[in-house]
């Protein structure tokens, strides 16, 4: 009985760390679209809007090569953190993606590290699941 309880607790903890980000997410004005596909310990993200990017990387904190630089992803308390270092570290951006408790909206926080800039917050709604 203790073993079953332990497995249930571990399953809940793992689920809390890896929220369901799968799907197509759009801003209210459809100015930005993010398509996310999770598989095991990797995530694929395609963004369309002000800038377009395609990222595929593990979520273990290991750097992955992308066009013009590298990206690192990891989960932190139910939030997917994406650190992008581009053009020889002349542009560094940290993004945090967190699904709202209702599972219908995604909050994206964009922190401009290099060059230093203001932090942006974008709210997106799930259009479909993938």
Average pLDDT over residues 22-37: 93
pLDDT at res. 53: 85
Q: Where are the beta strands (DSSP E) in the chain?
A: 23-26, 33-39, 42-48, 53-58, 64-66, 69-76, 79-86, 91-99, 105-114, 119-128
Domain residue ranges of the chain, discontinuous segments joined by +: 2-128
Average pLDDT over residues 23-40: 92
Q: Ranked by mean pLDDT, which of 4-8, 65-69, 107-111, 125-129 comes out on top?
A: 107-111
- HSE on the CB side for 46, CA within 13 Å? 6
DSSP assignment of 63-83: -EEETTEEEEEEEETTEEEEE
Q: What is the 3-state secondary structure (H, E, C) of 79-90?
A: EEEEEEEECCCC
Distance (Å, whole) CA 119 – CA 101: 23
pLDDT at res. 6: 34
Q: Which CATH class is domain 2-128?
A: mainly beta
């Amino acid at each position: 009985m203790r073993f079953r309880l332990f497995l249930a607790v571990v399953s809940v903890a793992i689920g809390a760390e890896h929220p369901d980000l799968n799907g197509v997410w759009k801003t209210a004005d459809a100015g930005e679209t993010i398509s996310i596909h999770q598989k095991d310990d990797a995530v694929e993200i395609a963004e369309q809007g002000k800038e377009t990017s395609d990222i595929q990387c593990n979520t273990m904190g290991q750097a992955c090569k992308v066009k013009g630089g590298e990206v690192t992803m990891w989960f932190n308390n139910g939030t997917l953190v994406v650190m992008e270092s581009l053009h020889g570290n002349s542009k560094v951006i940290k993004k945090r993606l967190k699904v709202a408790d209702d599972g219908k909206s995604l909050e994206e926080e964009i922190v401009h590290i290099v060059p230093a800039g203001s932090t942006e917050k974008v709210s997106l709604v799930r259009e479909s699941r993938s």
